[in-house]
Chain A
Amino acid sequence: MANNRDFDLISEFRKANPRAFKVVYDAYFPVLCYFARGLLYGSPESEEIAADSIIKLFKRSHDFESLQNIRAFLFITTRNACFNFLTYSVRENRKINRLDPSPVEDPEKLALSEMIRAEVMREIYKEIEELPEACREVFQLLYLEGKNANEVAKQLNISIVAVWEQRQEAIRLLRTILLKKGLLSILLAYGAFAFVA
């Protein structure tokens, strides 16, 4: 079934259907930004480079036969643009005649490691996005934003007990052990505090 859906998506993508474009964009743009950021040491230009890769992809959409092709094209295009960017900007500004884009580490390995990092992050991020909405909101506030159960309850206009339940649900549904553990320790600390008080 997944293959069929992929096939439909690809055939629509090849026809330059804007909705198919949007699906591909949503799937890859954040991860490309993250990838470019890694290669460019956090430069804000990374998003522009990722956007340019997407544009290049859309302009030749009829060339692609699978999502794998699309993904490979996007990562390789972005990687090359990042290396060009580094070389070019260094030359422009520092008047260095010769520059290895990555004099310290083999650029291929660097790019591969950044791609792997980005893709793993995307999977973990997906894990969070796929949580039921209430559960995801509690996770977001409690874990990522570091709020305590009281603040979360107030902000979402739910009871503290509901916060606890959603946290429990998130622990059950999440697969990444670090996230489970992180959630557990946050509320346990709060629980101990509430108990003492």
Chain B
Amino acid sequence: MQESADKIIDLILKSLRNEISDAEKKELDRWLEESPAYRQVYDELTNEHSLKSKLKLFGQVDSDAWWKKINEKIESPPEQAVVRPLPKKRWRYAVAVVIVMLAAAGVYYFFFAKEKPGIVKDGGQVIDSVTKIGPGGNYAVLVLADGKEIALKPADTGTIAESGNTRAMKLGDGQLAFENINPDNTAPAAANNLILKTPNGGQYSLMLPDGSKVWLNAASSIRYPGAFTAKERRVSITGEVYFDVKTFSSPFIVSILDKEGKEAGNVQVTGTKFNINAYSEESSIKATLVEGKVKVKSVVAGNSEVSRQIAPGQQAVINSTNSPGKIDVADHIDVNKILSWQRGIIAFDAAPFDVLMRQIGRWYDVQISYTNGIPNKILTGDVQRTDSLPAVLRNLQYVSGIRFRVEGRKVIVLGE
């Protein structure tokens, strides 16, 4: 693989240095046409952001430490120099997707290779729409008390809306904050309910009127008043939301709404950090505590209330299908894993295939369907949320053997 490689390396370097002749440029272009993989490499090398992050990676190897290890191994019997299979626990690293900003076009070429079974290759219009499927970002819609909707984008800062006495500000760090325009005005701002909602592929963070912070995952919402009353601080949510609640004497109550907008349960705290995962398409609502103390209550029409107190590292699971309203408490929860979405990772630990695909669907805003039923596979691994959809599917295919087809905004799971 070397002769042609050296020629190509030379051409790419010349191109990066603006030292390439027209004839050489043509030669390089011809090579790039040969494989999507080549194109992807070239695109990444000619992208400043990507080049910079790769240069950092390149310099990261601890050469001195490895030099020592290698010398130790040379003196030991040969069988020890053989690569051993992964211990089970480290398996997930093999799945972990490289942290690379992939140019969408590059990925598309890479993924939709010529003549590969199970990969769409017909019709330019299909492929065109596919190239647009990148990861989600910091997007949300703010619904004001008067019903006015404002689309929030990552770039917006400063005043984004004014309604009644309230001015909505977007701070530099992406936090939303509200202030009273006229502090002398005693009109009850509390009556002004606001709703912040994220679409599929969106996420957003927000500072509530009491200084508490919330992070919304994709396809989630929070409804809260422009100002809290002295008696209680009540918000209601759908989807997945992480809370970092300021400690005050008035209780902070999170109502968890089901898909009809009715309260399915609530979480009551004074000040603490916790995550609620309450997507209505999942079979249960999960409240995971990071710090402090919370009381989780389920609300089921006709049933008496059930409530449980949980401690840090515990997770309350409110059953919403089999025995509605029942609360189970799980111990020793890997809280970091639960909160990984906040750090830009979709982490799945022994997740059923369809649960993982729903997460992917929400973040990449694609519909998932199955031609041969849901594969009976349990997966463990991480996906970087900055990766493009094709890159993610490519890796999933790698580790699970399951093939996918992408058509427009649909991902069709084909089976093995």
Pair from one complex: yes
Question: Within 8 Å CB of A115, what residues of B?
Answer: 1, 5
B398 touches A103 (CB 8 A): yes
A49 touches B83 (CB 8 A): yes
* A51 contacts B by Cβ under 8 Å: yes
Given contacts A113-B37, A120-B16, A182 and B399 within 8 Å (CB-CB): no
Question: Within 8 Å CB of B110, what residues of A?
Answer: 104-105
Interface-side segment among B73-81, B252-260, B277-285, B314-322:
B73-81
The one of B12, B70, B113 in contact with A104, judged by C-beta atoms closer than 8 angstroms, is B113
A173 CB to closest chain B CB (Å) equals 12
Binding site secondary structure of chain B? helix
B66 touches A178 (CB 8 A): no
Cβ-closest chain A residue relative to B118: A103
Question: Within 8 Å CB of B48, what residues of A?
Answer: 178, 181-182
Question: Within 8 Å CB of A109, what residues of B?
Answer: 34-35, 37-38
Question: Within 8 Å CB of B180, what residues of A?
Answer: none
Given contacts A116-B12, A124-B16, A42 and B85 within 8 Å (CB-CB): no
Query: Count of B residues near A, CB < 8 Å?
Result: 70
Cβ-closest chain A residue relative to B8: A116
Cβ-closest chain A residue relative to B100: A42
Question: Within 8 Å CB of B69, what residues of A?
Answer: 51
B63 touches A76 (CB 8 A): no
* B61 contacts A by Cβ under 8 Å: yes
Interface contact tally, CB-CB below 8 A:
191
Q: How would residues 65 to 83 of chain A score, 1 for a CB under 8 Å from any chain B CB and 0 otherwise?
A: 0001001100110000100
- In this complex, the member of A50, A54, A86 whose beta carbon has the largest number of chain B beta carbons within 10 angstroms is A54
Cβ-closest chain B residue relative to A32: B61
* A99 contacts B by Cβ under 8 Å: yes
Binding site secondary structure of chain A? helix
Interface-side segment among A90-98, A152-160, A161-169, A187-195:
A90-98
Besides A96-B401, A109-B35, A177-B16, 18 other A-B contacts (C-beta < 8 A): A37-B57, A42-B99, A45-B86, A58-B74, A75-B1, A88-B85, A89-B85, A90-B398, A93-B88, A94-B377, A104-B119, A104-B398, A105-B37, A110-B37, A111-B1, A121-B45, A123-B9, A177-B17
17 contacts between A and B (CB under 8 A): A29-B66, A29-B67, A34-B61, A37-B98, A42-B96, A55-B81, A81-B83, A85-B83, A93-B91, A105-B37, A106-B113, A109-B37, A113-B37, A120-B12, A144-B59, A177-B16, A182-B48
